[in-house]
C-alpha cells in the first residue's frame, strides 16, 4: 500500500449501510417500501431471531437478536423474510466496487461497512460533496441507503457514521469531541461491549468523557493494554491506517448454530456438529487454508457458555479431522445439561501454500493413505453431491453462520 504523506491531515470515511439485509430485500421488491420488514431465521423455530429490520419496524420496538414471536407482539403487521445471503453478497460486492472506483484505499470490515482514506481524493472536491456523491451513487444504482462518517481517523469516522441514520453524513473533528462525543454513554463507544461497560461503570466511568479523563494506571489494571487504547480513542487518538489488505488477515474460521430446542439427545448433537464441521471445511477449502487448533463452543439452556480448544501437532483442513477433535472436546467437556447452541472454530489458520508439514517416520504412511481417501471422497461428492459416507443434516439456508461476512470481502477486486 502506498504511503500517505504523514504531514498531511488524513480524511477518513466510514460507510455504513442502513438496515442492509432489509434494504436489499426492499430494493429487489419495491412493494415492500414503507412496510415494517424484518429478516430472520426460521419463524417456526426458536432459532428464528431478528437479524435486521428496517426503520419502520424499529419504530415499533423491533430489535436485532429479538425472537420473532416477541417482535410480532410489538409489531403485528411485521413482514418476516428468510435471509438470502447470495443476494446480500452481490449487493456488497457492487457497493465496494463503487468505493474502489474512487480510491484504492478501501478497507472492508464486514458485508455492509468499510473505511476509505480519501485524503488525496479530497484535493479535488470537498469531503462532504464527495460523501454526498458516494451516497447518491449507491442509492441511484442499487437503491440502497447508507450513512457516512467523516473524520481524521478510523475510530472517529466509525462513531460519526452512527450519529445520523438513515442517509446521514456526519463530520466529527477532534475539536468536536468534547461536545459531540464525550456526553455519550460509555457503552455506546465503538470497541466497548456490555462487560467492559460494566467494569468501567464500577470505576464510576459512565460517559465517554469520563473515560477520556480517567486515570490510565487504573484503566490498565482493569483492562490491560486495552484500557490505554480505549482512553486514547475517547480522546480521538487512533493511528491505524486504512489497509486494503486487512481483509486477508484472518486467523480463524468458525460456524455456530442454535438448536431448535434445548437438547441432551446425543444423536441430534452429533448431527449438528457434523453439519458445522462440514461448513467450516467448505470455507477453508474456498480460502485454501488449514488450521492448527480446534475450538468447541457449548451454550447451555441457561445461556452459560464455555469454549474449549485443542492444539494439534499437524495442520488440518478436512471435515473428518475437524469433527474428530470436536467430538473429543464435546465428550470431555459436556456436563450432560441441555444444549442450546454449538459452535466449531478452526484456529491458527495458515495458507496451505505456506505450510510445510513435518512428517515423521511413523505418520507419513497414515497421512498418505488418508489423502487418498480424501481425494476419493471429494470425487464422489463432486459426482453425487453431499459426502456419501456421512449422513448429514440438511442445512437451514435461513440460519446465519458465524463469520459469514468475512469470507468474500475482497470479491470487489476480482
Same domain, 360 and 226: no
Q: How many domains does the chain have?
A: 2
pLDDT for the residue numbered 221 = 92
Q: Tell me, yes or no, whether 386 lies in a domain.
A: yes
Give me the domain span that covers residue 280: 250-413
Whether residue 267 sits in one domain with residue 225: no
Q: Is 407 annotated as a binding residue?
A: no
Task: State whether 291 and 194 are in the same domain.
Answer: no
Domain membership flag for residue 387: yes
Do residue 273 and residue 340 come from a single domain? yes
Quote the pLDDT of residue 42.
67
Q: What is the pLDDT along the chain (414 residues), one digit of tens a residue?
A: 333 334 468 999 999 999 999 999 999 999 999 999 999 876 555 457 898 999 999 999 999 888 888 999 999 999 999 889 889 999 999 999 999 999 999 999 989 999 999 998 866 689 999 999 999 999 999 999 999 999 999 999 999 999 999 999 999 999 999 999 999 999 999 999 888 999 999 999 999 999 999 999 999 999 988 999 999 999 999 999 998 877 666 678 888 888 889 999 999 999 999 999 999 999 888 888 899 999 999 999 887 889 999 999 888 999 999 999 999 999 999 999 999 999 999 998 887 766 654 444 444 445 555 555 555 555 555 555 544 444 333 333 444 443 444 556 666 666
Strand partners, 49: 67
Is 319 inside any structural domain? yes
Question: For residue 40, which of 71, 16, 11, 76 has the smallest C-alpha distance?
Answer: 71
Helix (H, G, I), strand (E, B) or coil at 70: helix
Cell numbers at 355, concatenated: 505450510
223 plus 255 within the same structural domain = no
**394 lies in some domain:** yes
Identify each DSSP E strand in 56-136 by its residue range: 79-81, 106-110, 113-117
Per the CB < 8 A criterion, the answer to whether 342 and 272 are in contact is: yes
Q: Which of 344, 352, 342 is nearest to 316 (CA)?
A: 352
Q: Is residue 32 part of a domain?
A: no
Are both 281 and 322 inside the same structural domain?
yes
- 202 and 302 share one domain: no
Determine the pLDDT at residue 125. Answer: 80
113 annotated active-site: yes
Q: What is the pLDDT of residue 6?
A: 42
Residue carrying C-alpha cell 430472520 = 40
Read off the C-alpha cell for 295: 475450538
Domain at 368, CATH number: 3.30.1490.100
389 assigned to some structural domain: yes
Residues 208 and 292 placed together within one structural domain of the fold: no
Q: Give 288: exposed, middle or buried? Use CB within 10 Å, 0-12, 13-18, 19+.
A: exposed
Cβ within 8 Å of residue 130, ≥6 positions away:
13, 102, 118, 121, 122
Sequence-distant (6+) residues with CB within 8 A of 341 are 256, 257, 258, 259, 297, 298, 299, 305
Looking at the structure, tell me whether residues 352 and 222 fall in a common domain: no
288 and 404 fall within a common domain: yes
User: Do 286 and 355 belong together in one domain?
Assistant: yes
Instruction: Give pLDDT, residue 358.
Output: 42
- Annotated active-site residue in 113, 278, 281, 317: 113
- Domain assignment of residue 128, yes or no: no
Residues 6+ apart with CB under 8 A from 334: 298
CATH number for position 198: 1.10.150.20
Residue 277 has, within 13 A of its CA and on its CB side, a CA count of 25
pTM of the model: 0.67
Q: Are residues 290 and 323 in the same domain?
A: yes
Amino acid at each position: 500500500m502506498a504511503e500517505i504523506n504523514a504531514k498531511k491531515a488524513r480524511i477518513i470515511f466510514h460507510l455504513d449501510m442502513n438496515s442492509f439485509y432489509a434494504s436489499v430485500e426492499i430494493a429487489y421488491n419495491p412493494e415492500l417500501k414503507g412496510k415494517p420488514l424484518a429478516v430472520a431465521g426460521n419463524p417456526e423455530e426458536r432459532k428464528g431471531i431478528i437479524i435486521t429490520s428496517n426503520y419502520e419496524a424499529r419504530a415499533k420496538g423491533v430489535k436485532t437478536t429479538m425472537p420473532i414471536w416477541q417482535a410480532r407482539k410489538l409489531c403485528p403487521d411485521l413482514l418476516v423474510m428468510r435471509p438470502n445471503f447470495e443476494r446480500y453478497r452481490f449487493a456488497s460486492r457492487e457497493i465496494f466496487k463503487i468505493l474502489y472506483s474512487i480510491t484504492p484505499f478501501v478497507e472492508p470490515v464486514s458485508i455492509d461497512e468499510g473505511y476509505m482514506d480519501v485524503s488525496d481524493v479530497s484535493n479535488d472536491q470537498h469531503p462532504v460533496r464527495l460523501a454526498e456523491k458516494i451516497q447518491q451513487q449507491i442509492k441511484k444504482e442499487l437503491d440502497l441507503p447508507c450513512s457516512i462518517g467523516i473524520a481524521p481517523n478510523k475510530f472517529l469516522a466509525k462513531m460519526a457514521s452512527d450519529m445520523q441514520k438513515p442517509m446521514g453524513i456526519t463530520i466529527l473533528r477532534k475539536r468536536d469531541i468534547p461536545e459531540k462525543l464525550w456526553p455519550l454513554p460509555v457503552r455506546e463507544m465503538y470497541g466497548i461491549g456490555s462487560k467492559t461497560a460494566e467494569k468501567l461503570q464500577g470505576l464510576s466511568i459512565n460517559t465517554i468523557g469520563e473515560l477520556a479523563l480517567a486515570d490510565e494506571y487504573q484503566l490498565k489494571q482493569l483492562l490491560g493494554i486495552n484500557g490505554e487504547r480505549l482512553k486514547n480513542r475517547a480522546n480521538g487518538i487512533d493511528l491505524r491506517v486504512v489497509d486494503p489488505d486487512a481483509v486477508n488477515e484472518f486467523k480463524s474460521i468458525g460456524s455456530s448454530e442454535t438448536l431448535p430446542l434445548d437438547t441432551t439427545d446425543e444423536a441430534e448433537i452429533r448431527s449438528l456438529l457434523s453439519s458445522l464441521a462440514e461448513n467450516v471445511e467448505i470455507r477453508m477449502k474456498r480460502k485454501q487454508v488449514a488450521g492448527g487448533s480446534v475450538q468447541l463452543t457449548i451454550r447451555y439452556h441457561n445461556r452459560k457458555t464455555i469454549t474449549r480448544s485443542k492444539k494439534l501437532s499437524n495442520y488440518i483442513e478436512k471435515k473428518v479431522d475437524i469433527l474428530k477433535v470436536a467430538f473429543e472436546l464435546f465428550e470431555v467437556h459436556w456436563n450432560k445439561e441441555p444444549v442450546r447452541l454449538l459452535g466449531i472454530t478452526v484456529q491458527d489458520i495458515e495458507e496451505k501454500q505456506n505450510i510445510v508439514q513435518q512428517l515423521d517416520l511413523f505418520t507419513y504412511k497414515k497421512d498418505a493413505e488418508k489423502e487418498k481417501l480424501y481425494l476419493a471422497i471429494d470425487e464422489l461428492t463432486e459426482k453425487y453431491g453431499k459426502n456419501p459416507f456421512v449422513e448429514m443434516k440438511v442445512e437451514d439456508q435461513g440460519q446465519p453462520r458465524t463469520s459469514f461476512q468475512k469470507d468474500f470481502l475482497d470479491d470487489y477486486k476480482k
